[in-house]
Chain A
Amino acid sequence: MILPLMIMKKITIWSGLFLCLLMTGCQRQEELEEGNAVYYWRTDFRLDSTERVFLNQYHIQKIYCRYFDVVMDTTQGRGPMPNATISFSDTLPRNIEIIPTIYIMEDCMHQSHQGLAEKLVRRIRQMNETNGIPNVREIQIDCDYTVRSRNIYYEFLREVKQAWSQQLSTTIRLHQLSMTPPPTDYGVLMIYNTGHPENYMERNPILDIRDVSPYLKHLNDYPLPLSTAYPVFSWLRIIRGVHVEHTVEAEEILKVKRAVEQRRDGLKRSIITYHLDKENIHRYKPEIYEEIYHH
């Protein structure tokens, strides 16, 4: 059948518009490669057999390994200083990429500190060299930045990026989703510590979908590629004589995961759990971990 010219023109225009829309959509959010990862948040790098099996079982490709913290030196006034540096008492697992992760206290970003980015990058490089950690191509900076510290933090990230000259990522807390995104290659959306510890009777302070949901609306438009990090840790406290262990029900994690991925499909591509530890591994059944790491 031959269509009249006018109709053909209309189809061409609408197809063009549709294509444009599709392309705009693709350009807006470049998503990450598929893969599984863990955070390692202890002060001594030493893996037991359970942890090594876990890495193998769930095809973990990356370990975001906390190298050290940066804290303000209040006693001697030396500005931001490294603290609680990790020791490497064990060999690193083969074929897993190590991503040095640095936790920076927010108050370090209340004013700019000249040369801090260079010092930080130099220290990471030296730690890699001294401890024989090869092929590190990415670093991650973790900071609970606020409106007060954001501008200085972003400037600091630009300096880190320049000094490192390879891949740079940062953590994004839910409340930070409403801000301009940081100048990094991608962000890790931290989906934990969502509630206030004081309200532990009403909400699980580690994770509750009701605390997550107000932020879901920002996900689709957030311009930075994102990985997602889910909590598998516990939190111990003694409350009114009762030993209270806050853990997140597996169902809650999966419910949040579904809600998050419903808003932005690409968030199922790169998944991280916080944090690698034998006790955390035993906390959930293998099928739960399968679900969490499901792409």
Chain B
Amino acid sequence: MRRFITTSLLAVIALPMLACYWADNHNYYLFSVYERTEFSNRMDEITRNNWKAYLGQNDDSYFFFRADDIIKAARKKGDALMVSYVQNLEKYLRCVAIEERKQREWNYPTKEEINACRKNLQAIRSYAAGKLKTRLRSQHALLYMRSNMMLGQHDTNINFWEQTASQYIETVYKDMMKNIYAGALYKTGQEAKAGELFAEMGDYNSLMTQYYKKRSFAAIRQEYLRDPNAKVLPFLLQDFVNNSQEAYDACQPHGEGEAFGGKLFIRDISQDEAKQMRNFCEQVVKERKTEVPALWKSAKAWLEYMFGSKERALKDIRTATTLSGTERIKDNARVLRLYIESALVPQSENYDNWLAQELEWLFSKQAENHYQNVLNRVTYQTLKKRYAESPERMAALFNATGTYEYETYIDTMKVERLEDYLQYTLRSPRTPLDRFLWTHQKKTEHALEDLIGTKYMRLCQWEKAIQWLKDIPTSYYEKKGYAVYAANRKYDVAPWIKRQWLRSAVLYSNHNGKLKSNPKLTFAREVQRMEGELNVLSGEELKKRYYELAIRYAQASYTGDCWFLMRDGKNVSDSVRVNETDLAAKAAELLRKADNSKDTRLKEEVLFAKAYIYMNPSPWYTLTWNSNTYEYDRHPAPQSAQYKAFASLVEYEKSINKPSGYVSKCDEYKQFLQAYNHR
């Protein structure tokens, strides 16, 4: 069947291949009454069980269909018919494999192989047609239809199903034949009939192929008027509601309008069309012609929530959970109720207890991807706001639900709150919600202690940092992604004189993250000692110490080479984060204190450091676009701090008449000098 679907998809959707950018912003579809893989999963499972039973294997040793094993077993049983069936099935599968090879294998088939494949298919077809009166007639009939499908003989398949196979007893083979029949109807232009059959079978992929360009309120209404219980209606309604959600999400402040994984079939739905649909859903429930009012009422509630009155949405979804529908439709109503209640009802102990019960239910369904997405959206979009005032619960919730927000959340929260969260994870739970969260916490040894210690480092509270970091083994840091940087960079190297770039051979080797000690603890202890001695130093010694400390702060800042001391990762758009001291600013302040040294070497280094780009809020120039040269022009900005710092350096170099190599070789210095001399 997969072959038919794949072939159909390829035939119908020849979309251009575009590289996409996407990011998770949590707005997954909530409305799901159709499981995307239901049909193929069901077929796979039953056929698998059938073969297992034939082989007499009741354990888990059976993995996938292997013709040789079945043939061996059949011969042992003296089952000649099964032997010939499996031999022909294997031949057929070889033809399928040739089609597969066209798509995704290195050995692309030859013309001869394709021709031989067609011949084989003809032979298999004749063989199967001759076995339709045997005890394995369903299997042979399926083989016959499969061969016809591959040969493009769709009319033959339609006639065969209608006159013969439809009378067969109910088996998985019959289901598969029916699917091929539906595909043949579709291929020969009988689309409405095909759609009903695909919907009845839960074949989402085929439905999407067929209805890709026919999804709208008007189409749903027309389908309902044709048959209020048309099987394609839940699929079309789900698609409409999800596309409406797409339009709604795009307007939300947290929606960001990004594309999502899984959202392949976006249709832009206007508010007016969504409101028409909402009203129509209400009408359908009132007309009582539908057998699944819970479906329409849930759709109405969700559309109402997005485009109408939130209060009415709450009332509607509560009603929807009491109406009749399939198990999936009822689960869908329950999901929507969880979201809407969590977004709207006031905080209370009753709500917390109800939430614990609903989350427990949702967790029990996490094997299916859809329910993982629901959990993600509910957590991020409703529960996050609800528990914003209770940081330890919020952190526990993020942890339990496995959303990546957890890392960001605990990384940015105040250190005292993180300590509270650590305690929360250690003490016995008091309420049903706490018990639920407590039992679902995922813990990594030393992670919270390391983060608390790091947070104290970010605040330059070295004593407290040392207390939290001192018992964390070096091996913990060797597992970190930044271990290679920690092992190969030194925080006492002046970043304005030497950048510690890592060669790619070092960066991408697996053997360069071996650490001698806990890097954070070593740093914290050293800075604490150096700062502790400031009171006893004076004169040139003191200035030198300020300079040495400035180097360490500059290195530990997000612009330094040793950024890993304060954070787990680094990217081009980094900045000073909340609850973090601006270490670069602190370094700049220390450089000011180190200024005017009598030691010429130190003085030159300090002046050079003060002109370093990361020690200044803006560059010594401004840029304007030149549309004649297609380049930016630099205009000196004498009021900027970096300009002044560079000017001081230039004047100093003039006075000593021999700049050090690191100054004279600096390209930025050279450019400044040129501009400065032409001012």
**Pair B257/A84 contact, Cβ less than 8 Å:** no
**Could you say which residues of chain A place their CB within 8 Å of the CB of B251?**
240-241
Interface residues of A in 189-219 (CB under 8 A from B): 193, 197-198, 209-210, 212-214, 216
Q: B11-19, B63-71, B588-596, B648-656: which lies at the A interface? A: B11-19
Q: B30-38, B109-117, B288-296, B637-645: which lies at the A interface? A: B109-117
**B114 touches which of A85, A130, A240 (Cβ 8 Å):** A130
Complex Cα distance, B108 from A82, in Å, reads 10
Complex Cα distance, B103 from A83, in Å, reads 6
**Could you say which residues of chain A place their CB within 8 Å of the CB of B675?**
none
Complex Cα distance, B10 from A270, in Å, reads 33
Complex Cα distance, B16 from A103, in Å, reads 14
**B17 touches which of A41, A147, A193, A259 (Cβ 8 Å):** A41
Main secondary structure of the interface of B (DSSP, over half): loop
**Could you say which residues of chain A place their CB within 8 Å of the CB of B255?**
240
Complex Cα distance, B19 from A235, in Å, reads 10
CB of B586, distance to nearest CB on chain A (Å): 30
Given A130-B114, A216-B630: A66 touches B17 (CB 8 Å cut-off)? yes
A57 interface residue (CB < 8 Å to B): no
Interface residues of A in 247-279 (CB under 8 A from B): 259, 262, 275, 277
**A44 touches which of B10, B108, B266, B632 (Cβ 8 Å):** B10
Interface residues of A in 168-201 (CB under 8 A from B): 193, 197-198
Given A148-B504, A240-B257: A275 touches B102 (CB 8 Å cut-off)? no
A237 interface residue (CB < 8 Å to B): yes
**Could you say which residues of chain A place their CB within 8 Å of the CB of B111?**
129-130
A126 interface residue (CB < 8 Å to B): yes
Interface residues of A in 225-246 (CB under 8 A from B): 233, 235, 237-243
Complex Cα distance, B510 from A110, in Å, reads 13
**Pair B268/A243 contact, Cβ less than 8 Å:** yes
**B16 touches which of A42, A69, A197 (Cβ 8 Å):** A42
Complex Cα distance, B550 from A273, in Å, reads 53
Given A41-B16, A129-B111, A277-B16: A241 touches B508 (CB 8 Å cut-off)? no
Main secondary structure of the interface of A (DSSP, over half): mixed
**Could you say which residues of chain A place their CB within 8 Å of the CB of B110?**
126, 129-130
Complex Cα distance, B268 from A238, in Å, reads 8
Complex Cα distance, B10 from A208, in Å, reads 35
B contacts with A, residue count (CB < 8 A): 35
**Pair A237/B108 contact, Cβ less than 8 Å:** no
Given A83-B104, A87-B102: A238 touches B17 (CB 8 Å cut-off)? no
A281 interface residue (CB < 8 Å to B): no
A127 interface residue (CB < 8 Å to B): yes
**Pair B630/A213 contact, Cβ less than 8 Å:** yes
**Could you say which residues of chain B place their CB within 8 Å of the CB of A42?**
14-17
**Pair B104/A130 contact, Cβ less than 8 Å:** no
**Pair B114/A81 contact, Cβ less than 8 Å:** no
CB closest chain-B residue, reference A84 = B17
CB of B106, distance to nearest CB on chain A (Å): 5
Complex Cα distance, B10 from A46, in Å, reads 12
Interface residues of B in 616-670 (CB under 8 A from A): 625, 630-632
**Pair B250/A240 contact, Cβ less than 8 Å:** yes
Interface residues of B in 45-59 (CB under 8 A from A): none
CB of B623, distance to nearest CB on chain A (Å): 10
CB of B269, distance to nearest CB on chain A (Å): 10
Complex Cα distance, B105 from A237, in Å, reads 33
**Could you say which residues of chain B place their CB within 8 Å of the CB of A85?**
102-104, 108
CB of A281, distance to nearest CB on chain B (Å): 13
**Could you say which residues of chain B place their CB within 8 Å of the CB of A235?**
18
Per-residue 0/1 for A125-145: is the Cβ within 8 Å of any B Cβ (1 yes, 0 no)? 011011000000000000000
CB of A131, distance to nearest CB on chain B (Å): 9
Complex Cα distance, B258 from A238, in Å, reads 7
> Which of B15, B21, B109, B630 counts the most chain A CB atoms within 10 A?
B630
Given A81-B105, A81-B106: A238 touches B16 (CB 8 Å cut-off)? no
**Could you say which residues of chain B place their CB within 8 Å of the CB of A165?**
none
Interface residues of B in 506-556 (CB under 8 A from A): 508
A123 interface residue (CB < 8 Å to B): yes
**B250 touches which of A214, A233, A238 (Cβ 8 Å):** A238
**Could you say which residues of chain B place their CB within 8 Å of the CB of A259?**
630
**Could you say which residues of chain A place their CB within 8 Å of the CB of B108?**
85, 123, 126-127, 130
Complex Cα distance, B21 from A42, in Å, reads 19
**Could you say which residues of chain B place their CB within 8 Å of the CB of A50?**
none
A122 interface residue (CB < 8 Å to B): yes
B246 interface residue (CB < 8 Å to A): yes
Interface residues of B in 203-258 (CB under 8 A from A): 246-247, 250-251, 255, 257
**Could you say which residues of chain B place their CB within 8 Å of the CB of A127?**
108
Interface residues of B in 400-459 (CB under 8 A from A): none
> Which of A84, A130, A214, A275 counts the most chain B CB atoms within 10 A?
A130
**Could you say which residues of chain A place their CB within 8 Å of the CB of B16?**
41-42, 233, 275, 277
CB of B400, distance to nearest CB on chain A (Å): 28
**Pair B504/A147 contact, Cβ less than 8 Å:** yes
**Could you say which residues of chain B place their CB within 8 Å of the CB of A82?**
103-106
CB of A65, distance to nearest CB on chain B (Å): 12
Complex Cα distance, B558 from A10, in Å, reads 61
Complex Cα distance, B109 from A122, in Å, reads 11
A294 interface residue (CB < 8 Å to B): no
Per-residue 0/1 for A93-119: is the Cβ within 8 Å of any B Cβ (1 yes, 0 no)? 000000000010000001000000001
Complex Cα distance, B40 from A243, in Å, reads 34
Given A82-B104, A193-B19: A148 touches B630 (CB 8 Å cut-off)? no
Given A209-B630, A275-B16: A148 touches B508 (CB 8 Å cut-off)? yes
CB of A72, distance to nearest CB on chain B (Å): 13
A43 interface residue (CB < 8 Å to B): yes
B359 interface residue (CB < 8 Å to A): no
Complex Cα distance, B15 from A240, in Å, reads 25
**A123 touches which of B106, B114, B266 (Cβ 8 Å):** B106
**Pair A43/B104 contact, Cβ less than 8 Å:** no
B259 interface residue (CB < 8 Å to A): yes
Interface residues of B in 495-511 (CB under 8 A from A): 504, 508
Given A129-B111, A148-B508: A81 touches B19 (CB 8 Å cut-off)? no
**Pair A197/B631 contact, Cβ less than 8 Å:** no
**Could you say which residues of chain A place their CB within 8 Å of the CB of B631?**
213-214, 216
**Could you say which residues of chain B place their CB within 8 Å of the CB of A240?**
250-251, 255, 257
**Could you say which residues of chain B place their CB within 8 Å of the CB of A69?**
17
Interface residues of B in 306-329 (CB under 8 A from A): none
Complex Cα distance, B105 from A66, in Å, reads 16
CB of B441, distance to nearest CB on chain A (Å): 29
**Pair B10/A81 contact, Cβ less than 8 Å:** no
Given A147-B504, A237-B259: A119 touches B15 (CB 8 Å cut-off)? no
**Pair B14/A238 contact, Cβ less than 8 Å:** no
Given A85-B103, A122-B106, A241-B250: A43 touches B15 (CB 8 Å cut-off)? yes
10 tightest A-B CB contacts, nearest first: A239-B257, A44-B14, A241-B251, A126-B108, A197-B21, A259-B630, A213-B630, A119-B106, A241-B250, A238-B250
A-B residue pairs in contact (CB < 8 Å), sample of 23: A42-B14, A43-B10, A43-B14, A82-B103, A83-B103, A83-B104, A85-B103, A87-B10, A87-B102, A123-B106, A126-B110, A130-B110, A130-B114, A147-B504, A193-B19, A209-B630, A216-B630, A233-B16, A237-B257, A238-B266, A238-B268, A242-B257, A262-B630
Q: Given A119-B106, A197-B21, A241-B247, 19 other A-B contacts at CB below 8 A?
A: A41-B16, A42-B14, A42-B15, A42-B17, A43-B17, A81-B106, A82-B106, A84-B17, A85-B104, A85-B108, A123-B106, A127-B108, A213-B630, A213-B631, A213-B632, A238-B266, A239-B250, A240-B250, A241-B251
User: Taking beta carbons and an 8 Å cutoff, which residues of A are in contact with B?
Assistant: 41-44, 46, 66, 69, 81-85, 87, 103, 110, 119, 122-123, 126-127, 129-130, 147-148, 193, 197-198, 209-210, 212-214, 216, 233, 235, 237-243, 259, 262, 275, 277
User: Taking beta carbons and an 8 Å cutoff, which residues of B are in contact with A?
Assistant: 10-11, 14-19, 21, 102-111, 114, 246-247, 250-251, 255, 257, 259, 266, 268, 504, 508, 625, 630-632
